[in-house]
Chain A
Amino acid sequence: MLSTRFIGWLRRYEKWFGIAAVILMVIGLYTGLVTSSADYYQGEVVRIMYVHVPFAQTAMFAYSTLFFCSIWYLWKRDPIVDNAAHAAAGIALFFTAGGLLTGSIWGKPTWNTWWTWDPRLTSFAILFLTLVGYLMLRTFLDDKEKRATFGAILAIIGFIDLPIVHFSVEWWRSLHQPLSVSTRGVSIAADMALPLSLMSIGFTLLFTYMLMVRTQMLYLEYLLEAKQGRLMSEERL
């Protein structure tokens, strides 16, 4: 089992990820909010991009992590992989909510609406609901292995579904949305690229840090349960 070595590794290195994430995000925010130039079309509003885009990217990254952990779990049945998947799902939910929220705030001044059925927004809403479903399903299942397996199945199905959702909404939207609401991306000026990539990397490191901490937490809970179980069994035997 990979558990003990892996947990030791997590404990040893987690703080470096956290520190790196904070440093990158502080520099990224400073360059993004203060030194970089405003967008030609959108003005100062564009600065929310420096949070929104990393939020969205990290949410995708977190869900991919959940997907790979799920496959790995079904393959190897290692409990710590399930802990990592469970951790990734909760964090993915956080970043997805952040992405939706900042997207909505950004949408109000640029598209003049809080919400539009843009393919990306819609897939994120579906992603959000899928993650909520995943976490709910887990809380309702009592058996540990069943919880892990059924969760993994749902995560895999959802991951395969998301591109299809994105694709179908794109087609649907081309029929129904008036073209005045533009989802045109921002053309990235050179002094925008630096803060954006700093923030992206910072957020990814933040996710990694959160994942490491949360996985350890869940694994410790697992160990605690094991300890309680052993004590109960000793009484019985």
Chain B
Amino acid sequence: MATAIRGIELSKSFQHFQVLQSVSIEIASGECYALFGPNGAGKTTLLRIFATLHRPSAGRFEIMGFDGNRERAKIRAAIFLIGHGSYLYDDLSVKENIQFAIGIRGWNPTDLEIKKALDQVGIGRFSKLRSRYLSAGMKKRLSIAKALLVRPKVLIMDEAYAALDELGVAMVNEFIRNFTKEGGTVLMSSHDRAKTAEVAHRVGVLNRSVLNEMSVEEMSAADAIF
């Protein structure tokens, strides 16, 4: 199977404080790769490097075969990040926020498509509400609705289940299953082993800049993974 994400000896320091040191990772197309690790291990930093938000201090990476330093525009067209930021404008409604976020990427979804996506993530009722009034969980659902409409080749999810209720977690897992079934690649970080085990194909534990890969069964069976 083709490689979707390849990181080769990636290092990153902030103000010379080394967060990642020579981390290599390879994820195939159609795979869901889950990243675990203690707080401050550098999971977010690694995801943000792949999302082209940080430049690695050393090492290189490829996404869908595009070079991480030279072909950033092509990578950006292929990826979508669901991260800590909600990327919302407080005074626009849920629907207008979606129209803006997708429209600026050069595609204007119809009202029906937007409604379908919002219903699928369970916030269809709130489409006219200004996003100022959304709770953290609803903002997360809204981000997933955006991902549904963008249909990226690679989806990067930082803390995939954060702020979501039980139904939301089930919805996310359903979404990931369908997404990978259709050939999409998911790279996610998580702290919930049981929920992650339902969808992940492979697991990596990032601790002290060492990436320890294991199968989902191993992860579920272990007492502690770090």
Contacts and interface: CB of A to CB of B under 8 A. Distances in A.
Nearest to B21: A237
Contacts of B21: 233, 237
A158 to B, nearest CB: 27
A227 B16 CA distance: 8
A232 B19 CA distance: 10
A23 B4 CA distance: 65
Contacts, number: 27
A143 B55 CA distance: 14
Contacts of B16: 225-230, 233
B209 A229 contact: no
A144 interface: yes
Interface range, B side: under 10
Interface string B1-35: 00000000000011111100100000000000000
Query: What DSSP secondary structure best describes chain B's contact surface?
Result: strand
A232 B13 CA distance: 11
Interface in A90-135: none
B74 interface: no
A237 B15 contact: no
A229 B19 CA distance: 10
A190 B89 CA distance: 69
A232 B208 CA distance: 13
A233 B13 contact: yes
Given A237-B18, A237-B21, A229 B13 contact: yes
Contacts of A237: 18, 21, 208-209
Contacts of B14: 143
A144 B57 CA distance: 13
A53 B142 CA distance: 64
20 contacts: A143-B15, A144-B15, A225-B15, A225-B16, A227-B16, A229-B13, A229-B15, A229-B16, A229-B17, A229-B18, A230-B16, A232-B17, A233-B13, A233-B16, A233-B17, A233-B21, A236-B18, A236-B208, A237-B21, A237-B208
Interface of B: 13-18, 21, 208-209
Interface of A: 143-144, 225-230, 232-233, 236-237
